[in-house]
Chains A and B, each alone.
Chain A
């Protein structure tokens, strides 16, 4: 099983739709989880952290399920500007480094 696995997509949704991505991780000792966003031909940027209790930031909600070893990102009321690749990122813990998933591409159309 790969360390961090994501459906590459693309997810094609109309404006205003709700869309959700999942990401699974293999290391049960993983401690920190994040979603990064990468626009086409741009660098990745931190979108939000994922806490055990869940995390909401405006239209974005991230959740963690440790028992099943997956994290999710829900985007409500999709905007054209949400079109990007969303990278799932896991930190194995300690003074360790981040492992990036390959990303899920989202395309929001008018």
Chain B
């Protein structure tokens, strides 16, 4: 089974802090994604990556950046955390042949910014 691992299940940070959310997948997938999920708003795409060192903006990239130095790892960075970035963050990966069909999600990181 594909395993997508997110480094933390719960995270509490202060406003203005730099926050790193890490995601690792073990299936050699080319594509990786970062979503946030908020009640009443559903899943929204922040950034995605098709390959190492490549990144594309999703629907809501403002306030975020990403890094993909290795194929298996995709990091989401909040340069200066704000309270409106309190959310559930979900990482996902997919293979090239089923790029936008079957996404495998990690179990999520619930981030609280105080």
Contact = CB atoms under 8 A, between A and B. Distances in A.
Nearest to B41: A102
Contacts, number: 42
A72 interface: no
A43 B90 contact: yes
A32 interface: yes
Interface string A12-46: 00000000000000000000101000000011111
Interface residues of B, number: 20
A87 B43 CA distance: 10
Contact of A103 (B33, B42, B99): B42
B42 A100 contact: yes
Contacts of B113: none
B99 A95 contact: yes
Nearest to A93: B100
Interface of B: 33, 35, 40-45, 48, 58, 90, 99-103, 105-108
Interface of A: 32, 34, 42-46, 49, 87, 91, 95-98, 100-103
Going nearest first, the 4 A-B pairs with the smallest beta carbon separation are A43-B105, A102-B42, A100-B43, A91-B100
